Amino acid sequence: MTTPAEVAALAEQRAAARAGKDYAESDRLRDLIAAAGWVVRDGPDGYVLAERPPYAVLSSVADLPDRSAEPDAGRCTVAVLVEGWPQDVRTCVEALLEHAPSDVTVVLLENGETDAGAVVHELAESAPDRVQELHVERAAGWSAARSALLRADTAAVHVLLDPSTVLEGDALGPVLDAFDDPTVVGAGWRGVRVKDGWREFEDAGPGEVEALLGYLFAVRRSAAARVPLPAKARFYRNADMEWSFLLREDGGRLMVPPGELPVRQDRHRGYHESPADYRDKESKKTYDRFLQRFRGREDLRLPSTG
């Protein structure tokens, strides 16, 4: 759609106001642009005008409500961090709605401007009693975005779900049943244990595990309030394992339900579509931090089943 001349003129006036550091005028002009049905987005090469989407967009995850002091209300929230790949999001959420228990709420956070915003909105519109949509303009790192979702939640159990994780049956039911044991603070689809030397992890079977992977990681909200996600983790890889050991250091137990859960993993975009240098650098930072704190902590190891 062609930008109306009056909107383009307002955007030019706003750019001049910003250049002159008249931020009050800049904000006033932004509001006029919004009232005309457009948004202006600033970048290193200037501004871009776009039609205003049919949903609210917050500036950042810092604008999400903080409900961490409120009592539990609801059984479970599944939080999906959306960073693009709309078809993946659709497949993941439609499977959730088909197979998850009916008292499970789904929250979708579009983390920055992506090509998946319209799909997020469509899914929320199609199931307003079960799906909540959140959109933020500025993308946040993994820990910041996930922590904001946790603070905004009031359900007793909060599930971190990657869009590559697709339910093919009721996988959440057995995961939620694990929380009937009050000593359990986390449960999920895949668990791992530290290999000798502490330099890597290996798959663990069902039962108590040393760490859970973030493809489907359910956590008791009260435990997450005591032991928040690692604040320095900008990228997910290894951060879920670091968090697992922090939760266990606090005295909690992590479980993988018995049997084979009806879950499949499609292409994991968070890994495969991230720039390799960024992915490797941030993952190494997290694992080095993990080793510095936990290496040699044999009191946090579980007996070998081999």
Q: How many folded domains does the chain comprise?
A: 2
Does residue 39 lie in a domain region?
yes
Nearest to 270 by CA among 153, 146, 150: 146
Q: Residues 109, 9: one domain?
A: no
Does residue 33 lie in a domain region?
yes
Does residue 305 lie in a domain region?
no
Hey, what are 173's tokens? 């039911």
Chain centroid, CA 226 distance in Å: 19
Does residue 306 lie in a domain region?
no
Q: Residues 123, 216: one domain?
A: yes
Burial class (CB in 10 A: 0-12, 13-18, 19+), 70: exposed
Does residue 248 lie in a domain region?
yes
Cα gap 40→149, rounded to integer Å? 26
Q: Residues 71, 174: one domain?
A: yes
Q: Residues 209, 270: one domain?
A: yes
Q: Residues 179, 70: one domain?
A: yes
**What is the DSSP code string of 176-224?**
HHGGGSTTEEEEES-EEEEPTTSS-EEEE-SEEESEE-TTEEEEEHHHH
Please state the φ and ψ torsions of residue 69, each to the nearest 5 degrees: -90, -5
Q: Residues 31, 150: one domain?
A: no
Q: Residues 121, 19: one domain?
A: no
| C-alpha pair distances (Å), 291 with each of 72, 213, 229 | 34, 17, 17
* One-letter amino acid of 80: V
Rg (CA), the chain: 21
Residue 132 and residue 124 in contact, taking contact as beta carbons nearer than 8 Å:
yes
Nearest to 107 by CA among 95, 86, 118, 123: 123
Q: Please, what sign has the CA dihedral across residues 212, 83, 139, 106?
A: negative
Q: Residues 35, 163: one domain?
A: no
| C-alpha pair distances (Å), 141 with each of 146, 182, 229, 236, 245 | 8, 31, 12, 9, 21
Q: Please, what sign has the CA dihedral across residues 224, 226, 227, 228?
A: positive
Does residue 167 lie in a domain region?
yes
Chain centroid, CA 187 distance in Å: 17
Q: Residues 157, 239: one domain?
A: yes
Pairing of strands 207-209, 253-256: antiparallel
| C-alpha pair distances (Å), 146 with each of 92, 123, 150, 213, 228 | 18, 20, 6, 14, 10
Does residue 56 lie in a domain region?
no
pLDDT digit string (tens) for the chain, length 306 residues: 688 899 999 999 999 999 999 999 998 998 899 889 888 878 778 888 888 888 999 989 999 999 999 999 999 999 999 999 999 999 999 999 999 999 999 999 999 989 999 999 999 999 999 999 999 988 999 999 999 999 999 999 999 999 999 999 999 999 999 999 999 999 999 999 999 889 889 999 999 999 999 999 999 999 999 999 999 999 998 999 999 999 999 999 999 999 999 999 999 998 999 999 999 999 999 999 999 999 999 999 998 765
Read off the CATH number of the domain in which 209 is found. 3.90.550.10
Cα gap 249→192, rounded to integer Å? 16
Strand partners, 82: 110
Q: Residues 247, 289: one domain?
A: yes
Hey, what are 165's tokens? 């994780």
Residue 158 and residue 109 in contact, taking contact as beta carbons nearer than 8 Å:
no
Q: Residues 198, 243: one domain?
A: yes
Question: Which range of residues forms the domain containing residue 292?
Answer: 61-300
Place of tokens 């950042």: 60
Does residue 147 lie in a domain region?
yes
Q: Residues 21, 160: one domain?
A: no
